[in-house]
Chains A and B, each alone.
Chain A
C-alpha cells in the first residue's frame, strides 16, 4: 500500500507535550491499518502569504496541531479553510 502523507499544520516544538505524540499516534494508527504514515509539519507562517493550496495538496490528510497561539493565526486558518472547502480529511486536536 502507498504510504499516507499527512500534513500537520503547526509550529513544531518538541517541548510541547502534544507534538511528539502527534507523530507517534499517527504511526500507531497507521500500523493498525497496515499502512505507513509519512507526516510533515507545515509551519503556520508558511501558509500566511499568497496561500493557494499548493503546499497542502500533496497530502492525503491534514491535521491541525495543538499549540496556540500560533505564530500565524491567519496561516493556520487558511490551512483549515482549505481542508474544509476542498474536502481533505481533517482533524484538529
Chain B
C-alpha cells in the first residue's frame, strides 16, 4: 500500500531490514489498555466515546518508526494508547475497514455485544443490501 516492497513482520522475519510490524516494547498479552479514539473515525462512531478500555493478547504491533509514514497514507491511525502508540488503524475511503491490535471479541458478551463488531455487521448489512440492489439492476458485482 505504501510501496514498501520489502515490508516484513518481525515474528516471521526477525532479521529483515524493514520490519513494519515489530515486537512491542512490552508484551500486551492478557493486559488491558485505555485507547484514545480519533473523533470522526469509524471506531469513534462505533463506540460513541473518545476513550475506551480494551483487552489485548499480542506481542507485536506497528513499528513506531513507520507511524508517520503509515498515517500519511490511506490507512489512518484512529486509536492510540496513552503513550501514543497505534492501536487502531482504518481506511478512510472504504465502507468499513478497521484493524485493531486488541481483541474485541474476547470482551463481547450476549448482553453486551462489542460496539465495533456491531458497527462491522451494520456495514455488512448495508453492503449486502446494496449488492442485492445492484444485482437486481443486472449489474455484475
- A: residues with CB less than 8 A from B are 1-2, 4, 6, 17-18, 21-22, 24-33, 35, 37, 57, 60-61, 63-64, 66, 68-69, 73, 83-84, 87-93
Contacts and interface: CB of A to CB of B under 8 A. Distances in A.
Contacts of B124: 4, 6, 60-61, 89
Interface of B: 1, 9, 11-12, 57-58, 60, 91, 94-100, 102-106, 108-110, 112-114, 116-118, 120-125, 127-128, 131, 141
A32 B118 contact: yes
Contact of A92 (B100, B106, B112): B100
A89 B118 contact: no
A33 B118 contact: yes
Contact of B121 (A29, A64, A93): A29
B127 A61 contact: yes
11 contacts: A1-B125, A18-B103, A24-B108, A35-B125, A60-B125, A61-B124, A66-B57, A87-B95, A89-B120, A90-B94, A91-B117
